[in-house]
Structure 1
């Protein structure tokens, strides 16, 4: 399912009964080019809290019953004038605030944050998740090829390696020596991450930004860190392709991205054991909505037989590419030429993902 257009954000909501603090906050928002909606309780507060792109809570109202009754949501900032007492910090954490901004020291940050919240929205990039039913299925190659094919259309794209023991997707792009961050450097990210800053810090090859696993420090990718990285790129309009570990089933990181995916692809070699493994993944688990891509093998099952074993319809077949191994050894990206096996499949996949007006 493709993401719907993002509606324009409403005005920031400011909640405070401190007139001096309110004046300071409104002045900062005016400098950021926006006006605020002010509310302190009742239906107006609940509506604005639900709809606002940014919610600014004065430290003076954190203990008020109407504020404490509000549900947790992203985009909440507590604003204070001067030192913040310990109870206010505790209340900010309880409300899920992303930051406590202390004025006047944090005025520049608050203005930038407000400007970000009211900026003209960018259509979110799509998310494709690729995994293999077993080791050696070819999922990493397909994920990389899909990213390369997207970049070949003139779009930016982020390729995320969520398989810490796969050797690193930068190898498939010939970018193993390129400067930039790998997973260990981002393993602890939480909350929000600026998409443009993320992309600027990553290696790029063949038009693809890649966040790869580090070969010298393999470690599982935390679900929250993966979600933050994916959201940062999608939030600035970039498509994202995530390569999951082989056979990833009820892994928290896998579940997090599969739940958000516009297209989930499970690559299944045309062998009975691989098809049987795929059946266990799609039977009511996080892969239940995945589309099956059958990688043909000599003497293997037919697509119809794979569909019968897995209990899932086959989206397409990926034929054997005799030149793929040698290209990989030379550090060349997968070929997505129009008549190549990967070119044929990625063209079909992009047809599933890309809106007609974007493809034009």
Structure 2
């Protein structure tokens, strides 16, 4: 096991795409952490990133960064690289903070966990949906018994409205790997694997870790253009039909879940924006906004979470965290959600 000074943890980030900057902000919000190195195969982009954020060490070689004086590797590369890069980091005696999905195959994840346990190293998977402040509060309300046993979860995906400046900041990213079933882990972007892990993580988290047993998806043609997939803010050309509905049941047969999507790209309009969830319990219900969420209205005012209980007045919650860096939303996913995640790690 490496001799890690937990009062001065040195981090290196590999992969400088969309999530690198939110993760950097998260680490810099922790007084015990310091990002000392960045790495990307595009060395010019790596140099721009390091100059913008005043990071001293820049690498185009992952192996060279692993040989440097860092304690933790933040792996923010495409999914197919997660498993081999995790194993390389563990072999170099580094702790790992890996973006979701952790691996494409169960065997890859099991191998990495076994190696980490053997070397007494930590692996943390960046499932940020668990760390959005509105989701953290929802989980606490459920665990405190405020709606009784959770029995049904309904997830809703409307249009995600991107701030005009965010595309300037992120640049024209090459994310074709998300459309490749081999590189992304299965299916076509984003609802089958690469992004759907968010939904299923929440589906087990809010349902008190009940295990999902069976999943079904409904395919449909887009009403306006059969050649587009992805989302309105991030469309992809593909011959694959749209997937507007996913359903699942749990090992506990009394429980079930639903995810549905209606947004501009598939020719539908939904008043609710971004990601939102309803959790139904024995004697109560929670409505909550997630990433990019908007338009959860009660008494004419925007709310972030509403607790409804039988024979009681609703309780409304807001989380004043400055809004999001990417989306037109009060829910701070790309900022506070990533900070919460880093502090948990």
Question: Do they fold alike, i.e. is TM over 0.5?
Answer: no
**Whose strand fraction is larger, Structure 1's or Structure 2's?**
2
TM-score normalised by structure 1 residue count: 0.30
Say which one has the larger Rg. Answer: 1
TM-score normalised by structure 2 residue count: 0.31
